[in-house]
Chain A
C-alpha cells in the first residue's frame, strides 16, 4: 500500500516512516514547509525548520524512499496562524496543534497524498486508530500515557480517521528512540519539540501583537463586582487561570477568571472562583458514538496536561454539547478543547465556549 508519511524531521515521524518502509509499504515522505525560510536562517520555529527538513530527507535517503518538501506556508497562515491570532484577539486561548492536524495534515496534506496515489497519511503522533466491529473508526490513547496526543486529534472526522495511521501509537517514547537507534537514524537522540512550533520563544503576546496591532488596547482589570482594580495593556496577554503578570497588589493571590473582548476587560478573583462544574463546547466532533441526546458518563480532559475528570455529557443543538463534571474543575478555558473519553477511547470533543 502506498502511504504518505508527514515527516517533521523529529524522531517520532522518522520512526513512523521507517517502520512502514520496513513493513514493505510503498512509503513517500512529505515534509511541510510552514514558514519562510528563504533566508536560510531560522527566523522562527522550533520544528519543521530547514535543519529539520534536512533531517527528514536524510532519514528517507537512508531507508531508500522518496521524500519531498511541500510549501504550505500560505495555507498555514490562512488556517493555523490566522486562527491563533483571532482567538487571542477574541479573548480566548487557542490550541493551534489541533487545527494543524485537522485543517492541514489531514486535509491539505491528505489531498496531496491522494493525488500521489497514497491511501492514507501516517504521522508520528502518539495515538491509535482502530476500526470497530460495526465499521466505525475509533481514536484511542497511545500506549505511552505520558506522551499521548489523542487530545490534539479529537477533531478528525470518520473520513479523516479512515485515512490516518499512527505507527508509533503502540510504542512508548523510549521504545521509539530504541527503534531509531536500531534503524541507525541520526535523529534517535534529537530532543522533543517544545511549545508551539511557530512561537519558539513562548512569547505569544508579542507574536499576536505583531500580526494584529489592534489587540494592544489598554483595558480595565476588574474584580468580580465590576470594580476597577487597575489597567492592562491588551487582553491577548491573558489566559483564564493566569496568576502572573497582573500587576495588581493584593493580599491574597488573584487569578484571571474571565476575558471580555468586547469591553476589553479582564476579570480577576481568588482561586476558588476559578472552579466550575459545567461547560459548553462548540463544533463538537463525535467519534465513537452518535451525538448523545441524553447524558452519557465520560471523563473529560480540558487541556493537554489535565487529568480527565468524570461527569456526564450530552449534545445540544447546532453541533454544541454540555458537560457537567461530578466535581468542579479549575480554569475551564475558552478556546481550548474539551475531549471526552470512555477509558482509552475518544468519545468526541469540541471547543470550549
Chain B
C-alpha cells in the first residue's frame, strides 16, 4: 500500500543528511565534550557547530542556546527554572494560554500545587490569544507568561511580540514554545521580544530526544537537573552529541529552504483544504486561516467521530491525527478546540492534516478523492446513543 504521511506536526522523518551526520558523529566523535584532550575537543566542536546552526534558525547568539532532551524539557526549564528564581522576590503568578501544549499546561499545574497562582488565557473562535486578555491577567507579581508561537493542533500563529511587550511592561518574563514554528516560518528572537524560546529537533526533520532552549542573556533559570557544569551549568549531564549534531544539520537545511518549502506547502495545504470543503458536505476549518503555519489545517467533519475517521483513513494508508491523544493512544476531546468555545461534538470530530517535505500534489489529490466515500460510510452507520436498560 502506498502510504501518505500527513502528520508532520507529530513528528517528521529524519533528513538523510542529518542521519548521515549522526552516524558519523556516533562512530567517530565519541569523546566527551567536557574532556580537555583531542577527543573531547572534537566532540565539543560538533556540539558547538550545531549550536551555531540552531542560533541561526532563530536569530539568536549561539551562547544563549542550551541543548535539552526535547521541547518538553525546554518548556520545563524555562517555566520552572525562571519561576523558582523569581519566587524569592515574591513573584508567584504564572500565565499561559489555554491552548498550550501539555508540556506547558501540566508544568503550570504542578507549580500551582506548590503554591503559585496560575491564569489561563482563553481564546476566541479564531484560535488566537487576545492581547487584551493578557493585559487583564497580568499582575504585579506575575513571574512568567508562556504563550506558544504556533499552535500544534490548528497552526495559528500568536501575536508574540505584542504579548511579550505587555508582559515586559509589567515586569514579567515571556517564554514562547516555538516547537511548531521553528523550521517552518522565520523566527527572530529579538523581533519576537521574548526572553525564552523552546524548540524540538524532530519537528523539523532532526532526530527525536533532542531540543533546545534559548535564554536571553541576563535571564536566570535554575537548572532542573543537578550535576556537572554542562551547558553553562544550566543543564547537567553529558551531551547527546549525535542527536545535537543531527539537529544542527536539520536546522541548517530547514533555514536554507524555508521560503520555498513554506510556499510549496501552503499551496498543497490550500489545495487539500479547498478539496475537502467542496468535496465533503458538513466540513469547516477550525481557527483563523489568515495567520497560521503553512503546513497545517484542522477540519471538523460534522456527524463523524474523529476516532473512526482516523482509523478508516489509516486503513486506506493515510496517516493523520487529532491534536491530542491520551496514554493508551485513544483520542480525547481537544482542549484547544474546547478553549476556542466549540461544542463537545466539534471537539471530537476534528482532524488535523499536517503536511511536510515528502508530500506531493498527487498524494493530496488521492486524499481528496477517498475522503468523501469514507465520511459518507461512517455517517450512514452513526446511530443515536442507546438508552441504558
Bound-state CA distance A115–B332 (Å) is: 20
Question: Does residue B266 face the partner (Cβ distance < 8 Å to A)?
Answer: no
Bound-state CA distance A50–B326 (Å) is: 11
For A86, list chain B residues within 8 Å (CB). 388
A75-83, A248-256, A296-304, A320-328: which lies at the B interface? Answer: A75-83
Bound-state CA distance A242–B381 (Å) is: 44
Bound-state CA distance A82–B385 (Å) is: 14
Contact bitstring A26-54, B, C-beta under 8 A = 1, else 0:
00100001000111100000000010010
B159-167, B257-265, B304-312, B359-367: which lies at the A interface? Answer: B304-312
Whether A70 and B330, one on each chain, are in contact in the complex, defined by CB atoms closer than 8 angstroms, is yes
Bound-state CA distance A115–B376 (Å) is: 9
Whether A79 and B388, one on each chain, are in contact in the complex, defined by CB atoms closer than 8 angstroms, is yes
Q: A82 and B329 in contact (CB under 8 A), knowing A66-B315, A111-B381? A: no
Bound-state CA distance A38–B335 (Å) is: 14
Contact bitstring B23-48, A, C-beta under 8 A = 1, else 0:
00000000000000000000000000
For A111, list chain B residues within 8 Å (CB). 381-383
Q: A79 and B328 in contact (CB under 8 A), knowing A28-B315, A111-B381, A114-B381? A: no
Whether B385 and A78, one on each chain, are in contact in the complex, defined by CB atoms closer than 8 angstroms, is yes
Chain B's closest residue to A32 (CB) is B330
For A82, list chain B residues within 8 Å (CB). 388
For B315, list chain A residues within 8 Å (CB). 28, 66, 116-117
Whether A69 and B330, one on each chain, are in contact in the complex, defined by CB atoms closer than 8 angstroms, is yes
Question: Does residue B378 face the partner (Cβ distance < 8 Å to A)?
Answer: yes
Cβ-defined partner of A71 (8 Å) among B314, B330, B386: B330
Chain A's closest residue to B329 (CB) is A69
Report B171-198 residues with CB < 8 Å from chain A CB.
none
Question: Does residue B327 face the partner (Cβ distance < 8 Å to A)?
Answer: yes
The residue in A40, A112, A283 that gathers the most chain B C-beta atoms within 10 A of its C-beta is: A112
Whether B328 and A50, one on each chain, are in contact in the complex, defined by CB atoms closer than 8 angstroms, is yes
Whether A99 and B389, one on each chain, are in contact in the complex, defined by CB atoms closer than 8 angstroms, is yes
Q: A283 and B327 in contact (CB under 8 A), knowing A116-B308, A116-B311? A: no
Whether A103 and B383, one on each chain, are in contact in the complex, defined by CB atoms closer than 8 angstroms, is no
For B377, list chain A residues within 8 Å (CB). 115, 117
Bound-state CA distance A99–B331 (Å) is: 24
Whether A115 and B328, one on each chain, are in contact in the complex, defined by CB atoms closer than 8 angstroms, is no
Whether B314 and A66, one on each chain, are in contact in the complex, defined by CB atoms closer than 8 angstroms, is yes
Cβ-defined partner of A50 (8 Å) among B327, B382, B385: B327
Q: Chain B's nearest CB lies how many Å from the CB of A9?
A: 11
Bound-state CA distance A82–B307 (Å) is: 24
For B308, list chain A residues within 8 Å (CB). 112, 115-116
Q: Chain A's nearest CB lies how many Å from the CB of B1?
A: 11
Whether A70 and B307, one on each chain, are in contact in the complex, defined by CB atoms closer than 8 angstroms, is yes
Whether B381 and A83, one on each chain, are in contact in the complex, defined by CB atoms closer than 8 angstroms, is no
Chain B's closest residue to A36 (CB) is B326
Contact bitstring A80-109, B, C-beta under 8 A = 1, else 0:
001100100000000000010001000110
Bound-state CA distance A40–B326 (Å) is: 9
The residue in A39, A40, A68, A79 that gathers the most chain B C-beta atoms within 10 A of its C-beta is: A68
For A69, list chain B residues within 8 Å (CB). 328-330
Report B306-340 residues with CB < 8 Å from chain A CB.
307-308, 311-312, 314-315, 326-332
For A39, list chain B residues within 8 Å (CB). 327
Bound-state CA distance A53–B284 (Å) is: 34
Whether B307 and A78, one on each chain, are in contact in the complex, defined by CB atoms closer than 8 angstroms, is no
Bound-state CA distance A39–B326 (Å) is: 9
Report B281-319 residues with CB < 8 Å from chain A CB.
307-308, 311-312, 314-315
Bound-state CA distance A86–B388 (Å) is: 10
Contact bitstring B108-128, A, C-beta under 8 A = 1, else 0:
000000000000000000000
Bound-state CA distance A69–B326 (Å) is: 11
For A33, list chain B residues within 8 Å (CB). 328, 330
For B389, list chain A residues within 8 Å (CB). 79, 83, 99, 103, 283
Q: Chain B's nearest CB lies how many Å from the CB of A334?
A: 14
Bound-state CA distance A283–B386 (Å) is: 16
For B326, list chain A residues within 8 Å (CB). 37-38, 71
Bound-state CA distance A88–B386 (Å) is: 21
Report B332-389 residues with CB < 8 Å from chain A CB.
332, 377-378, 381-383, 385-386, 388-389
Q: A71 and B332 in contact (CB under 8 A), knowing A37-B327, A107-B386? A: yes
Q: Chain A's nearest CB lies how many Å from the CB of B379?
A: 9
For B314, list chain A residues within 8 Å (CB). 66, 68
Bound-state CA distance A112–B386 (Å) is: 14
Q: A103 and B331 in contact (CB under 8 A), knowing A116-B308, A116-B315? A: no
**Apart from A71-B330, A114-B381, what 8 extra A-B contacts exist at CB < 8 Å?**
A37-B328, A40-B327, A50-B328, A71-B331, A83-B388, A103-B386, A107-B383, A111-B383
Ordered nearest first, which 8 A-B pairs have the shortest CB separation?
Answer: A71-B330, A115-B378, A115-B381, A69-B330, A40-B327, A82-B388, A33-B330, A68-B311
Interface residues of chain B, those whose CB is within 8 Å of chain A, are 307-308, 311-312, 314-315, 326-332, 377-378, 381-383, 385-386, 388-389
20 residue pairs from A and B, CB less than 8 Å apart: A28-B315, A33-B328, A33-B330, A40-B327, A69-B329, A70-B311, A70-B330, A71-B331, A78-B385, A79-B388, A82-B388, A83-B388, A103-B388, A103-B389, A108-B386, A111-B383, A115-B381, A116-B311, A116-B312, A116-B315
Interface residues of chain A, those whose CB is within 8 Å of chain B, are 28, 33, 37-40, 50, 53, 66, 68-71, 75, 78-79, 82-83, 86, 99, 103, 107-108, 111-112, 114-117, 283
